[in-house]
């Protein structure tokens, strides 16, 4: 499968930073290149063929994404630049309109900063209270405090550090009982699991293209139609309008109300082609490959007595492994691994509150995708065996 | 492997684990916090400046070997130096790490900290090496601001 990915095909680098971004298959690169070589024009604006084709491409991509996550309608799919922008859109547009002094926003302590800081800012500006779901000793969500004051529940389906699949069904059911809306951060889940927004019953879902084989700069916000329709625009400008007068404007219908300015057609083609690629492989196979890599990696890591693992004693997990090498800072580990051709992430992974909650300053993270192999894991393990020696600890 | 050995030399790994300067000072004239948010290097530097001389310095915190060794070696170098001399050395160190040295610079003046020169080949680690030095520059400014008889001036290093 690595042969489909030009950057991986020479086998020099064991790329294990897929939670940060994934590599791109030839099919995606070619589709984007073909667009710029043969069809590029500003969508929704021109009457000539290229513009019509660009418009067609972006609307086809929207339909494909709607089907991919089983949204009821393509108008519930808003293009953004990434999951971060999608989450900010909900916080600013829905949040500022609907939150009042004393209302509660509930998030988890395992959130990426992109599903944390926007809510913090929203709470400060509205007088709402930001509350947290804490974790048990394994890393699973504890019972959430959802009550009549709860207006927004914003939670990740999979933590980008612990990789644990959170069962959101009960949280969503309870939030809806109290009339709260549920925002799901799907940045780590949508690339790895079959997603069905109707079955999940979330009100909003945010994800990024670049973590699922598409180029950087294209992201998605799914929103339930009744909410999107009632929300004011987030960004204003071209093509999100109906009539513009000197002092007032009426806005376009969904989804274009939320898509101000020239849209990223190349990115939309990229994510559309990425979905084709993922569906050809199938999520059943993707999940089984990642499970195999996890089952292979975790015992090998446990055998290394100088490794501390986090969130690894659970079954419900995708291919994300957070760890530390005893007495060595993650940044030094990452530098040493890099010199051995192994790419991992080191630091707080944009999750400082989670690290503080876990009593950690920072951690290393190896994250897999379906194109990784057992050989990549072997290279990780071999390189790790070297770390303490390089640091002159043994 | 040889370039890793050039990076994590015996001197650097030893300094990264040294406890000599890991303590609190009595009556420091300035306490300054330095943080690299992306990687988690986090130090608090304490300095005691008397009559324009860095009489004593210490630090506490966590971080990678580069940041910790750099802090420890910097304190070794700076104790007993005048504030003016310290700021000149901070500037020299930062220019060394950023590969911006002039012909007449002599990095031997940095004593053991000169061994961090190889960091200039590792762009991802530059901020680890310079953290303590930037923090000291701010601490000197802070100490001067605490002293009514002196007017604080912005240092070269604060450009970073």
Give chain B positions within 8 Å (CB) of A332. Answer: 8, 64-66
Per-residue pLDDT, A217: 98
Tell which phi-psi region holds residue A331, choosing left (phi > 0), alpha (psi between -120 and 50) or beta: alpha
Q: Which of A161, A332, A341, A391 to mutate to test the interface with B (most CBs of B within 10 A)?
A: A332
Tell which phi-psi region holds residue A312, choosing left (phi > 0), alpha (psi between -120 and 50) or beta: alpha
**How far apart are the C-alpha atoms of A7 and B47, rounded to whole Å?**
49
Chain CA centroid to CA A367, Å: 13
Residue, of B152 and B97, whose pLDDT is higher: B97
Shortest distance between the Cα of A208 and any Cα of chain B, in A, equals 21
**How far apart are the C-alpha atoms of B94 and B101, rounded to whole Å?**
9
Q: Considering only CA atoms, which of A263, A278, A207 is closest in space to residue A28?
A: A278
Mean of the pLDDT values across residues A245-269? 96
Per-residue pLDDT, B148: 52
Give chain B positions within 8 Å (CB) of A392. Answer: 8, 10, 13-14
Mean of the pLDDT values across residues B48-68? 96
Fold of A26-280: 3.40.640
Q: Pull the structure tokens for residue A138.
A: 């394994």
At A341, the pLDDT band (50, 70, 90 cuts) reads very high
Per-residue pLDDT, B151: 42
Could you say which of A328, A336, A362 has the minimum Cβ distance to residue B39? Answer: A362
Tens of pLDDT, residue by residue over A35-56, are: 999 999 999 877 899 999 999 9
pLDDT exceeds cutoff 70 at B79: yes
B25 touches chain A (CB under 8 A): no
CB A120 within 8 A of CB A99: no
Catalytic residue among A202, A312, A350, A364: A350
| E-assigned strand segments in chain A | 14-15, 77-80, 104-108, 129-133, 150-156, 181-185, 204-208, 219-223, 241-244, 249-251, 307-310, 320-325, 342-343, 345-347, 363-367
B62 touches chain A (CB under 8 A): yes
Mean of the pLDDT values across residues A258-283? 97
Per-residue pLDDT, A171: 98
Tens of pLDDT, residue by residue over A185-211, are: 999 999 999 999 999 999 999 999 999
At B2, the pLDDT band (50, 70, 90 cuts) reads low
Q: Pull the structure tokens for residue A235.
A: 């960004």
The CA-atom distances, in angstroms, between A27 and each of A56, A274, A326 are 19, 8, 42
Q: Three-state SS for A9?
A: coil
Per-residue pLDDT, B37: 83
Shortest distance between the Cα of B89 and any Cα of chain A, in A, equals 26
pLDDT exceeds cutoff 90 at B132: yes
Residue in this structure with the two tokens 């072997």, named with its chain if needed:
A378
A202 assigned to active site: no
The CA-atom distances, in angstroms, between A101 and each of A96, A104, A205, A380 are 11, 9, 26, 50
Q: Considering only CA atoms, which of A56, A21, A389, A390 is closest in space to residue A219?
A: A21
The CA-atom distances, in angstroms, between B146 and each of A381, B12, B152 are 52, 34, 9
Give chain B positions within 8 Å (CB) of A348. Answer: 37-40
Instruction: Give the nearest chain B residue to A349 (CA atoms).
Output: B38
Could you say which of B14, B65, B124 has the minimum Cβ distance to residue A329? Answer: B65
Per-residue pLDDT, A212: 98
Report CB contact under 8 Å: B39, A390. Answer: no
Mean of the pLDDT values across residues B140-146? 85
**How far apart are the C-alpha atoms of A81 and B87, rounded to whole Å?**
44
Architecture of domain A2-16+282-384: Alpha-Beta Complex (3.90)
**How far apart are the C-alpha atoms of A255 and A239, rounded to whole Å?**
11
- Using CB atoms within 10 Å of the CB of residue B3, give its burial: 0 to 12 exposed, 13 to 18 middle, 19+ buried: exposed
Share of chain A above pLDDT 70, in %: 100
Give chain A positions within 8 Å (CB) of B10. Answer: 392
**How far apart are the C-alpha atoms of A199 and A7, rounded to whole Å?**
36
Could you say which of B8, B37, B64 has the minimum Cβ distance to residue A392? Answer: B8
Round the average pLDDT of chain A to a whole number and report it. 97
Per-residue pLDDT, B48: 96
**How far apart are the C-alpha atoms of A257 and A234, rounded to whole Å?**
9
Pick the CATH number of B2-159 from 3.90.1010.10, 3.40.50.720, 1.20.58.340, 3.30.360.10: 3.90.1010.10
Per-residue pLDDT, B154: 39
Per-residue pLDDT, A47: 87
Per-residue pLDDT, A46: 78
Instruction: Map A160-228 to HEC letters.
Output: CCCCEECCCHHHHHHHHHCCCEEEEECCCCCCCCCCCHHHHCCCEEEEECHHHCCCCCCEEEEECHHHH
pLDDT exceeds cutoff 60 at B159: no
**How far apart are the C-alpha atoms of B22 and A345, rounded to whole Å?**
28
Name, in order, each residue with C-beta under 8 angstroms of A343's C-beta and a sequence gap of 6 or more: A13, A14, A15, A16, A17, A337
Tens of pLDDT, residue by residue over A14-25, are: 999 999 999 999
Peptide bond into A285 cis (omega under 30): no
The CA-atom distances, in angstroms, between A128 and each of A104, A115, A194, A286 are 6, 16, 34, 40
Residues from A contacting B (CB-CB < 8 Å) are 328-332, 335-336, 339, 346-348, 352, 355, 361-362, 390-393
| Cβ count within 10 A of residue B11 | 14
Instruction: Map chain B to HEC letters.
Output: CHHHHHHCCHHHHHHHHCCCCECCCCCCCEEEEEEECCCCEEEEEEEEEECCEEEEEEEEEECCHHHHHHHHHHHHHHCCCEHHHHHHHHHHHHHHHCCCCCCCCCHHHHHHHHHHHHHHHCHHHHHHHHHHHHHHHHHHHHHHHHCCCCCCCCCHHHHC
Listed as own residue / partner, the contacts of B20-25 with beta carbons closer than 8 Å and 24 or more positions apart are: B20/B72, B21/B57, B21/B58, B21/B59, B21/B71, B21/B72, B21/B75, B21/B76, B22/B58, B22/B59, B22/B60, B23/B58, B23/B60, B24/B58, B24/B60, B25/B56, B25/B57, B25/B58
Residue, of A268 and B124, whose pLDDT is higher: A268
CB A156 within 8 A of CB A166: yes
CB A272 within 8 A of CB A60: yes
Per-residue pLDDT, B158: 38
Per-residue pLDDT, A334: 96
Sheet holding B53-62, edge to edge: B30-36, B41-50, B53-62
Tens of pLDDT, residue by residue over A99-140, are: 999 999 999 999 999 999 999 999 999 999 999 999 999 999
CB A28 within 8 A of CB A213: yes
Within a 13 Å sphere around the CA of B137, how many CA atoms are in the beta-carbon half?
21
Report CB contact under 8 Å: B122, A332. Answer: no
Mean of the pLDDT values across residues A311-326? 97
At A181, the pLDDT band (50, 70, 90 cuts) reads very high
Residues spanned by CATH 3.90.1150.10 within chain A?
2-16+282-384
Report CB contact under 8 Å: B4, A336. Answer: yes
Q: Three-state SS for A267?
A: helix
* Domains of chain B by residue range: 2-159
Shortest distance between the Cα of A348 and any Cα of chain B, in A, equals 6
Q: Taking the model in full, what pTM does it have?
A: 0.93
Residues spanned by CATH 3.40.640.10 within chain A?
26-280
Tens of pLDDT, residue by residue over B144-158, are: 887 754 443 433 333
Shortest distance between the Cα of A86 and any Cα of chain B, in A, equals 23
């Amino acid at each position: 499968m690595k042969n489909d990915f030009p950057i991986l095909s020479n086998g020099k680098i064991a790329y294990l930073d897929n939670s940060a971004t994934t590599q791109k298959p030839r099919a995606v690169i070619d589709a984007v290149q073909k667009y710029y070589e043969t069809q590029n024009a500003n969508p929704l604006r021109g009457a000539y063929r290229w513009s019509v084709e660009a418009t067609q491409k972006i609307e086809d991509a929207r339909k494909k994404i709607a089907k991919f996550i089983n949204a009821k309608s393509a108008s519930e799919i808003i293009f953004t630049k990434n999951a971060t922008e999608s989450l900010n859109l909900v916080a600013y547009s829905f949040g500022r309109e609907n939150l009042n002094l004393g209302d509660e926003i509930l998030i988890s302590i395992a959130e990426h900063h992109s599903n944390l800081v926007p809510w913090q800012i929203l709470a400060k500006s509205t007088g709402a209270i930001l509350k947290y779901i804490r974790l048990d000793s394994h890393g699973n969500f504890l019972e959430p405090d959802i009550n009549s004051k709860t207006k927004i529940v914003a939670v990740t389906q999979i933590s980008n550090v612990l990789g644990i699949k959170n069962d959101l069904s009960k949280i969503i059911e309870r939030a809806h009982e109290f009339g709260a809306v549920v925002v799901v951060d799907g940045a780590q889940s949508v690339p790895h699991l079959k997603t069905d927004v109707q079955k999940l019953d979330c009100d909003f879902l945010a994800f990024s293209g670049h973590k699922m084989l598409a180029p950087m700069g294209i992201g998605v916000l799914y929103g339930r139609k009744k909410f999107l329709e009632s929300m004011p625009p987030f960004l204003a400008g071209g093509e999100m309008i109906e009539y513009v007068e000197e002092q007032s404007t009426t806005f376009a219908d969904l989804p274009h109300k939320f898509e101000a300015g020239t849209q990223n057609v190349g990115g939309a083609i990229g994510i559309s082609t990425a979905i084709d690629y993922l569906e050809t492989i199938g999520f059943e196979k993707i999940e089984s490959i990642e499970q195999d890599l996890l089952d292979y990696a975790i015992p090998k890591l446990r055998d290394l007595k100088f490794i501390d693992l986090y969130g690894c004693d659970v079954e419900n997990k995708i291919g994300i492994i957070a760890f530390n090498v005893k007495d060595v800072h993650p940044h030094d580990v990452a530098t040493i691994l890099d010199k051995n051709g192994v790419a991992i992430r080191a630091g707080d992974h944009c999750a400082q509150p989670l690290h503080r909650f876990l009593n950690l300053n920072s951690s290393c993270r190896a994250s897999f995708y379906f194109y990784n192999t057992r050989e990549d894991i072997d290279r990780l393990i071999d390189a790790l065996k070297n770390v303490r020696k390089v640091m002159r600890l043994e | 492997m040889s370039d890793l050995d050039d990076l994590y030399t015996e001197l650097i790994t030893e300094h990264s684990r040294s406890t000599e300067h890991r303590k609190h000072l009595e009556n420091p004239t300035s306490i300054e916090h330095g943080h690299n948010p992306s990687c988690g290097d986090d130090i608090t530097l304490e300095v005691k400046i008397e009559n324009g001389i860095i009489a004593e310095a210490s630090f506490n915190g966590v971080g990678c070997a580069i940041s910790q060794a750099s802090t420890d070696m910097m304190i070794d170098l700076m104790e007993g130096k005048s504030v003016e001399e310290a700021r000149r050395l901070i500037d020299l160190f930062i220019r060394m790490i950023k590969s911006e040295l002039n012909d007449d610079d002599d990095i031997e003046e940095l004593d053991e900290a000169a061994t961090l020169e190889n960091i200039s080949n590792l762009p991802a680690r530059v901020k680890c090496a310079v953290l303590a030095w930037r923090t000291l520059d701010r601490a000197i400014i802070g100490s001067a601001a605490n002293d009514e008889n002196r007017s604080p001036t912005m240092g070269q290093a604060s450009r970073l």
